[in-house]
Structure 1
Amino acid sequence: MNRRQFLATAALSGLASACGSSASGAASDPAAFRTELRVPPLLQPKVDKDGTRRFALTMQRGRTELLPGKPVETWGFNGPHLGPTIRAARGDRIRMTVTNRLDEASTVHWHGMRLPAKMDGGPHQTIEPGATWSPHWTIDQPATTSWYHPHPHGETAEHVYRGLAGMFIVGDRTEAELPGTYGIDDVPLILQDKRFAENGSPTGDPLKGTFGILGDHILVNGTHAPFLNVRTERVRFRILNGSNARMYHLSFADRRAFHIVGNDAGLLPAPIQVDQVSLTPGERVEVLVTFTAGEQVLLRTLSGADDIDEGDFDIMKIVAARRLTASPRPPARLAGPAPIVAPPNAKVRRFRLNGHDAINGKEMDMSRIDEVVPAGAIEIWEIENTVYAHNFHIHEVAFQVLAVNGEKPPAYASGHKDTVYVPPKSTVRLAVQFGRFTDPATPYMYHCHILRHEDSGMMGQFVIVEPGTENEVPRTINAHHM
């Protein structure tokens, strides 16, 4: 189906009744979680003689049972839905081959990766149907949980909603004291909400309404009402909010405490104990959870005060084995990256989020450069939200949240990040650390990561240039010749 057929089918199909996602409905019964959680496979690279690790991804159509017994058309990487987990280490030379087997153009953005603009996978790096894109870079950033997803201008919401997303894990030796056996005590959780037609197809218009789609079912790694069997005393969950618009306030049904050890762009300086953590679209968090032999517990999200977090949902049941392998206690300290400290004379840039389709009064223009930044700079960015809920993602960078409406952020949100929630009618102040890849002709993006807003024009572009050349850079580019 093309976009018009997809939306027509969605409009004609009746919505299925809620079947086990609401905390006030059937899913409050742990017995309702009958499908074992699908853990995305690790993508195995081919290693060249020079040590370059080659990963191959194919964007393709397929059929998936998002609801049990109802196979429907979906999109995925290397399979019918979602994509494999890519795992690499700091210092690795990486080459991707991304082949588009869809019948429309797309892109693949490496969300959270610090790399040259031409390799970033934003809307300028289009992959036409039948074509292959081969970005390459050397990983030089701290251990982190990042992800990959499409980023075509005006079509990102639809492409992600159909199923194109996957985890990208960067490791380094600073993680030695944390669980790290993939799929056993180191488990990815991709959270996405959906609405379904009677036949089980995801339905709704991703570009309609204030926020697009807010679903009434929560999938984890594409699994509906899943359970996970755990065999170790502690498990490290890498949680990604891969939804188009929904905000999650995650906790356990028994309100147990757990430890946050990392967020978007790296580990924290020390584990932070909490009993709830909040994530807006695009944000990630790494948590350590302790289990007792033989117990069962539900992971859930609770509604809050904003329009993008409405509804209480039970998400997943976790079942601990009768005998658990012992795990080390959470370390007292973590080797997180150094704090980002802006110099006293740091440049301050201000961004005003207007409605759902403009920043500083301007809609996205692929040919316009909005900001020019010297390589290696640390700047202060102030994001003012004049209306309802937004968040803000900056490509390539790491930043620290200094204040939200003049108040310090929660301790778990004080580490390195690349995406931040900007509450209604508030201002968020960031210390932003830029990389050293220079390219005056190829931009990076900054935008709201509520995908309906991003596609509607709430996005801008910046380039990174050699210090001292900022005033020499043209503010227009040929958007068709990147």
Structure 2
Amino acid sequence: MKKSFFTLLALSSVIILQAQYNTITIPEALYGTNFNLNIHESTKQIRTGNLTVTGSINNETFWGPTLIINKGEEVHMNVTNNLNESTTLHWHGMHLPAVMDGGPHQIIPAGTLWQPYWTVMNQAATLWYHPHLHETTQEQITKGVGGFIIVKDPQETALALPRTYGVDDIVLALTSRSYSTANQFDSPPTSVRVYGDYMLTNGTPNGQISLPKQYVRLRILNAEVERGYNLGFSDNRTFYIVANDGGLLNAPVAATRVKLMVGERIEIMVNLGNDTVGSSVDLKAYNSGQTLGFPGGEPNTTGQFGSLLNNIDFSVLHINVAATTTATTPITAVPSILASNTYWTAANATVTRTMTVTGGQGATPFSLDNHTFVFDYIDKTVNLNDIEKWTVTNNNIFGHSFHIHDIEFKIVARNGSATGVGTHESGWKDTFYLPRNESVTFVAKFDDFADADVTHPYMYHCHFAGHEDGGMMGQFIVTGNLGNDQNTLNTDFSLYPNPAQDKLYINLSDASTEIYYLTLTTIEGRVAMMLPQPQWQNGIDISSLSSGVYIVQMMDKKTKSVTTKKFIKK
């Protein structure tokens, strides 16, 4: 009887232990060149009790689908904002024209369809997309609006790497949240807290996953509002970093710990082939005892910078080892050579710039070079194809995460020394950690895209959502040869058929006019469609519009003047 009691107790303990984990959601994968993304509010049962109001895309209830695209293809995004407020959608890490970038200037009003497109020029990499509306970024990211982008190319495809999505190739968005008594997310404008109390992995608390007994690939994104992660496994096993922000490293980097700051991505391979089926291991954040200024290293548990996860080690994913896959050939080794990247060096730079983190004392917001973000102020003008060296210095007590749009760069020095650059950040980057009292120097080429239009600049900023909402952002334009005939165009146009049913065609009075932007509004002034640099020659698809009277505003590329015409949608 006593033996049965202890057996029952032991079984109960196992059941309780297993019940504390929840299987994480793997976002739906979307393939192709045309993507329909519907941003809307949803609800999710994250905690016991009330449903939590979330921000989601398509059929997900937190976060959005993973877009899987190929280098060299032209991709079209049909982004519909069905939130009750404006938003933007930024393609983080993507090399593309500024007018398609989705920064604070490409505002999508509620109820509006935005249709950017571009040719994919990035090499194989893990990128992501997220809101970037000034002063509202933290609130919308907290709700869970965002998603992964996986770029594929022939170089990566030729390697023996895990790439069966959701089986041995896993996307992991790491973040944390705090909740009100009604189970709603703490976020602006009702809360000023920057760290969550409870871990979410792909929007799942106490996340777990079953992975096959072989090498697996984890594509990890720090999707936090502000917290950093010092990642490693609970048994201190070695893993291999095969890619970071911009794609494959030239060779894998063996590690037992790696720091990942907001906006950064890494791809790691970890060997589960020596584990027993049914065993488990945790991917953990070893965040205790970090140096002063590490985001999330503060000792306090309450207040603006307080959190129950501060300055402790905690699990971010519980991994259960399952049987080896049979549908595909398991990967049993890490390739010794991954890529043959050739990087810019400091000697290649013909332009040198410096930048300093400023502000942050008392009620003064953080800024860059003592200037907070203003929509119509251009901080830097860059010449097309220039190779530039930027040094960003942080003399503040707090660390930051620095991100620049459009280009990828090579970090060439930390604190003036090449030896200070971590091997895990040896590849192409678009985001880096800038600790307190340190500097980072990077080199980049500003190629392919030039646009002197100051209404659609690129951004650089701290990726802590609260800091960028507070104005810790600058903006730059890239200028090239814009021609000398800007005042000789006739920008008039006509529309046909009118009334129109499914397609609307444009006839330009001057064939040399280039359409920079088309905006379709209702007669009452509500924005219905936004088409940056549209491919208008085969007609504009207006089938999604309701019947009524609309105004077409056409901005030409050279003069940036706006001409309007009216049409009727049948």
Give distance in 2, aligned partners of 1:143 and 1:206. Answer: 38
Residues 404 and 455 of structure 1: CA distance in aligned 2, closer, same or farther (over 3 Å):
same
Task: Say whether residues 1:276 and 2:257 are aligned partners.
Answer: yes
Task: Tell me if structure 2 keeps the 8 A contact 1:232–1:327.
Answer: no
**Deviations, residues 355-399 of structure 1 (Å, cap 9, x unaligned):** 243111111011011111112222110101121111210000101
CA shift for structure 1 position 200: 2.3
- Within the candidate set 330, 334, 337, 1:330 is matched to 334
1:23 maps to which residue? none
Moved more, 77-86 or 274-283: 77-86
Q: Secondary structure at the match of 1:363?
A: coil
Is residue 293–residue 324 contact of structure 1 (8 Å, CA) maintained in 2? no
**How many correspondences in the alignment?**
438
Distance, in Å, in 2 between the alignment partners of 1:75 and 1:327 is: 36
CA distance in structure 2 between the aligned counterparts of 1:109 and 1:312, rounded to whole angstroms: 32
Please say if 1:55 is aligned against 2:35: yes
Equivalent residue, structure 1, for 2:21: 34
Q: Distance in 2 between matches of 1:309 and 1:336?
A: 36
Residue 352 of structure 1 aligns to a residue whose secondary structure is strand
Contact 2:345–2:412, Cα closer than 8 Å, also in 1:
no
Name the SS of the counterpart of 1:397 in structure 2: coil
Alignment of 1:71 onto 2:51: yes
| Pair 1:168-2:172 in alignment | no
Aligned partner of residue 43 in structure 1, secondary structure? strand
* Aligned 8 A contact 1:187 1:238 in 2: yes
State whether residues 30 and 298 of structure 1, in contact with CA within 8 Å, keep that contact through their aligned partners in structure 2: no
After TM superposition, the structure 1 = structure 2 runs for residues 223-302 of structure 1, keeping only pairs within 5 Å, are: 223-291=204-272, 292-294=275-277, 295-302=279-286
Measured in 2, the distance between the counterparts of 1:154 and 1:323 equals: 47
Measured in 2, the distance between the counterparts of 1:423 and 1:453 equals 15
Residue 183 of structure 1 pairs with residue 184 of structure 2 = no
User: Which letter does structure 2 place at the counterpart of 1:340?
Assistant: W
Cα 1:193–1:437, aligned 2, differ >3 Å: closer, same or farther?
same
Report the more deviating stretch, 191-200 or 416-425: 191-200
SS in 2 for 1:415: coil
| 1:307–1:410 Cα change, 3 Å | closer
1:373 touches 1:463 (CA, 8 Å); kept in 2?
Answer: yes
SS at match of 1:66: coil
Distance 1:322 1:328 in 2: 14
Which of 20, 23, 30 lines up with 1:43 in the alignment? 30
SS at 1:453 equivalent: helix
1:443 aligns with 2:460: no
Q: Could you tell me whether the CA contact under 8 Å between 1:30 and 1:317 is conserved in 2? A: no
In structure 2, the residue matched to 1:339 is 343
Distance 2:49 2:385 in 1: 53
Cα distance change on mapping 1:60 and 1:204 into 2, 3 Å: closer
Q: Secondary structure at the match of 2:138?
A: helix
Contact 1:271–1:332 at 8 Å: present in 2 too? yes
SS of 2:29's equivalent? coil
Counterpart-to-counterpart distance in 1, 2:109 and 2:348: 46
Q: 2:348 & 2:170 partners in 1: Cα distance?
A: 41
CA contact (8 A) 1:259 1:287 kept: yes
- Rate the CA distance shift 1:43–1:322 in 2: closer, same or farther, 3 A: closer
Shift of 1:30: 6.1
Q: Percent identity?
A: 36
**RMSD, matched Cα:** 2.3
Q: 1:431 aligns with which of 432, 443, 452?
A: 443
Which structure 2 residues correspond to residues 113-128 of structure 1 after superposition, within 5 A?
Answer: 113-128=94-109
Q: Could you tell me how far 1:322 is from its partner in structure 2?
A: 4.4
After TM superposition, the score normalised by the length of structure 2 is 0.73
Q: Is the 8 A contact 1:142 1:337 kept in 2?
A: no
Deviation at 1:198, TM superposition (A): 3.0
What's the offset of the Cα at 1:232?
A: 4.4
Q: Following the alignment from structure 1 to structure 2, what is the Cα–Cα distance between the partners of residues 345 and 226? A: 45
* Secondary structure in 1 matching 2:284: strand
* Structure 2 CA distance for aligned equivalents of residues 188 and 33 of structure 1: 22
Larger radius of gyration: 2
For the 8 Å contact 1:343–1:378, the answer to whether it is kept is no
- Opposite residue 391 of structure 2, the aligned amino acid is E
Specify the code of the residue in structure 2 equivalent to 1:90: K
For residues 258 and 138 of structure 1, what CA distance do their matches in structure 2 show?
34
Q: Deviations over 1:285-328 (max 9, x none)?
A: 00001002322001110122234133322111101114466423
Question: Alignment partner of 2:296: what SS?
Answer: coil
Kindly provide the CA deviation profile for residues 67-101 of structure 1, in whole angstroms up to 9, marking residues without a partner as x: 25542211111133210000001011100000010
SS of residue matched to 2:218: strand
Distance 1:73 1:288 in 2: 35
Partner of 1:321: 322
Give the alignment of 1:92-107 within 5 angstroms.
92-107=73-88
Which residue number corresponds to residue 378 of structure 2? 369
- What does the per-residue CA deviation read over 1:229-269, in whole Å, with 9 as the maximum and x for residues that have no partner? 11240111000000010000011110000000000011100
Q: Aligned partners of 2:366 and 2:342: how far apart in 1?
A: 35
1:409 to 2:421 alignment = yes
2:344 maps to a residue whose letter is I
Counterpart Cα distance in 2 of 1:206 and 1:319:
39
User: Which segments of 5 or more consecutive residues in structure 2 lack a partner in the other structure?
Assistant: 1-12, 298-311, 484-558, 564-570
Residue type at the aligned position of 1:447: H
Distance 1:126 1:345, change over 3 A: closer
The answer on whether the counterparts of 1:236 and 1:286 sit within 8 Å (CA) in structure 2 is yes
- For residue 410 of structure 1, report the CA deviation from its aligned partner: 1.1
Instruction: Say whether residues 1:390 and 2:400 are aligned partners.
Output: yes
Aligned-partner Cα distance in 2 for 1:172–1:307: 36
Q: Residues 267 and 336 of structure 1 are in contact (CA less than 8 Å); yes or no, is this contact kept in structure 2?
A: no
Which ranges of structure 1 fall in alignment gaps of 5 or more residues? Answer: 1-25, 46-52, 470-476
SS at match of 2:389: strand
Shift of 1:206: 7.0
One-letter code of the match for 1:73? V
- In the TM superposition, 1:458-469 aligns within 5 A as 458-466=472-480
CA gap 1:426/1:190 in 2 versus in 1, 3 angstroms: same
Listed one character per residue, the Cα deviations across residues 157-176 of structure 1 (whole Å, up to 9, x for unaligned) are 11101110100110111113
TM-score, reference length from structure 1: 0.86
1:156 and 1:420 map into 2 onto residues whose CA distance is 19
Bigger RCO of structures 1 and 2 (CA < 8 A, at least 6 apart): 1
